[in-house]
Amino acid sequence: MTKTMTCIVCPMGCQISVAEGEARGYSCPRGKSWAEQEVSKPMRTLTTTVLLIGGEYPLLPVRTQLPVPKSKLMDCLRHANSLRVEAPVEVGQVICPDLAETGVSLIAARTAGGQ
């Protein structure tokens, strides 16, 4: 069975097809490994916001440090929505070490000072 997909690794958006585990149509090694992963276990980086307490902004942008299984995106989101963070926060700071039991941490995506 052949599966065709649009690569999301970079803005080029190559059309990659995978048949019997072999990828075609990629332009870089990252695209090849992404496509191979995509047919077995698709992964996505989640970016969202969490509530920031006492900060200069009401929300802190966060992202998963590594991609998480696409099937667990909504679990990750629900977990992230339950979090509260106190300012100040440094970019890259770990907000949650294990998001929705994925083993992946959620990190701050900007520096936010206190009020």
Per CB under 8 A, the list member of 5, 39, 83, 87 interacting with another protein is: 5
Q: Binding of another protein at residue 4 (CB under 8 A)?
A: no
Short-list 40, 10, 3, CA closest to 28? 10
The contact mask relative to another protein for 33-72 (x = CB under 8 A, - = no) is: -----------xx-xxx-x----xxxx-x-x------x--
Q: Strand 84-86 to strand 47-53: parallel, antiparallel, or no bridges (unpaired)?
A: parallel
Tokens of 87: 């300012």
Sign of the torsion formed by the C-alpha atoms of 17, 19, 22 and 24: negative
Nearest distance from residue 85's CB to another protein, in Å?
Answer: 13
Residue 109 sits in the site that holds another protein (CB under 8 A): yes
107 beta partners = 63, 94
Chain contacts with another protein (rule: CB under 8 A): 5-13, 15, 44-45, 47-49, 51, 56-59, 61, 63, 70, 73, 77, 91, 109-111
